[in-house]
Amino acid sequence: HSKRAGSHGCVVHDPSLTDRRADDALLSEDLDHALDRGELHVLYQPIVTLADARPVAAEALLRWQHPTRGPIPPDRFIPIAERSGAIARIGLWVLAEAAAQPFPTSVNISPRQLREPTVVHDILAVLHRTGRDPRDLILEITESASVDGETVIGALRTLRTHGIRIAIDDFGTGYSSLQYLTRLPVDILKIDRSFVAELNGTPGGAAVTEAIIHLARALTLTTVAEGIETPAQAAELQSLGCDKGQGYLYAEPLPAADVARTFVASAAEGRTGNVGGSA
């Protein structure tokens, strides 16, 4: 399984043995056709209220099943798609898939996508076509210098006036200028899972998470903790005042139909119960 036919008919050895950039170029070429060949699909990870583990939305997470290499993780191929520009078309496809689901979705948008001159029009057109309420869409952006510009901030502002919510993903790990936080139109801070992993019941372990939650409160933003894996983490986050969470404790990324069922069950029970179990 260490060989594959290269795009030019040559045989390429195990990627770990080849130059990374040469391999990136091959993947980039393959990625250009991946969408048309049906190799991409989207999984959805429920986002729940910490108080009662009720699903409120689900994050769309892109998957690529490469025909010869098998699954390629998004952390590997998204940066390649950003460099080639393929992310514009792929990202819009993810958005259309997400908007077609019967539950609110949170969609990752890359900086490159946000710099497309037609981004506002394209996103609103998808919502119009699918008949979705903009209030059922959250856009997740990562902190980076490239979104800290007037054009991108203007686009985000316009999207937000339509009712779309903006989340900062992996908060605390990126470009992180606090000044930028007051300039950017934002509704939600997603606490990076590296901080959640540090929670161990001690003040030291909770320091960064607590600071983010206090900051969010002061700016009247909602907090969503990422990568919750244990009931102890969920309990500690809740006692620190975090609003919502996602992670393997509740559900891993799942096919849309499975997630739709959890929303139906939650609504039918009309309840404040415990989907998947929480604190």
Structure tokens at 76: 């590997």
Q: Is 140 in the site for Mg ion (CB under 5 A)?
A: yes
Q: Give the contact letters, 32-71, x = binds to ligand C2E (CB under 6 A), - = no.
A: -------------x--------------xxx---------
Residue 175 CA to chain centroid, in angstroms? 17
Q: How far apart are CA 80 and CA 205, in angstroms?
A: 35
Q: Map tokens 């606490």 to a residue.
A: 191
Residues 151-170 that bind ligand C2E (CB under 6 A): 169-170
* Comparison of 12 and 170: residue with beta carbon closer to ligand C2E: 170
Out of 116, 148, 229, 235, name the contact with ligand C2E by CB under 6 A.
229
Q: How far apart are CA 159 and CA 109, in angstroms?
A: 13
Query: What element of type H or E holds 51?
Result: none
Q: Give the contact letters, 87-116, x = binds to ligand C2E (CB under 6 A), - = no.
A: ----x--x-------------x-x------
CB of 60 to Mg ion, least distance (A): 9
Q: How far apart are CA 106 and CA 103, in angstroms?
A: 10
Distances (CA, A) of 22 to 15, 80, 166: 9, 12, 36
Q: Is 113 in the site for Mg ion (CB under 5 A)?
A: no
Please report, as ranges, the residues that interact with ligand C2E according to CB under 6 A.
45, 60-62, 73-75, 78, 91, 94, 108, 110, 140, 169-170, 193, 226-229, 246-248, 253
